[in-house]
Amino acid sequence: MANIELTRFRIKKGKEQTAQEWMDFLNRHHQDTVATMAGEKMYVETVFKESNPDGYTYFYWYSIQGIGGNAVEDSTSYIDQKHLEYWEECIDESYRPVDMVVEQSLLAPLIEQAIKQSEQ
């Protein structure tokens, strides 16, 4: 059906403001950002921010994505290209991302039906 994921990524020290700029960019270009989702079979994508007592900022990426979508790295969209630039600049690659374990997931029948139809 779909992959449901929640992953924690750490922002590089000193890049907190740039990371906020990144989220502001995506929010300012909401319509164009949403338009990139169809090719990726991305149904839901939400980013949460945490300012942790360890002194780091973390982004938590929550997504519901279908199987077989296009990789963001293959996109020619200006949104996706800018997204990847920010990713390279802000995400701390020395920190191993933490994938949370799905214990329970509920989708309203209408949403589940829409996902199934788009998979066909």
Query: For the segment 59-105, what is each residue's pLDDT rounded down to a tens digit?
Result: 999 999 988 889 999 999 999 999 999 999 999 999 999 999 999 99
| pLDDT of the residue at 68 | 87
- For 51, residues 6+ apart whose C-beta sits below 8 A from its C-beta are 57
Examine the pLDDT at 114 and tell me if it is beyond 90: no
Residue 43 CA to residue 81 CA, distance in Å, equals 20
| pLDDT of the residue at 115 | 86
Residues 1-29 have a mean pLDDT of: 96
Q: Which residues pair with 45 in a beta bridge?
A: 63
The alpha helices in 2-119, defined as continuous H runs, are 16-28, 30-35, 37-40, 78-90, 109-119
Residues 22-28 have a mean pLDDT of: 98
Residue 86 CA to residue 90 CA, distance in Å, equals 6
Residues 36-46 have a mean pLDDT of: 94
| SS3 of residue 72 by DSSP | helix
Residue 5 CA to residue 55 CA, distance in Å, equals 25
Examine the pLDDT at 2 and tell me if it is beyond 90: no
| pLDDT of the residue at 116 | 84
Q: Which residue has tokens 């403001």?
A: 17
| pLDDT of the residue at 84 | 97
Examine the pLDDT at 1 and tell me if it is beyond 80: no
Residue 25 CA to residue 77 CA, distance in Å, equals 14
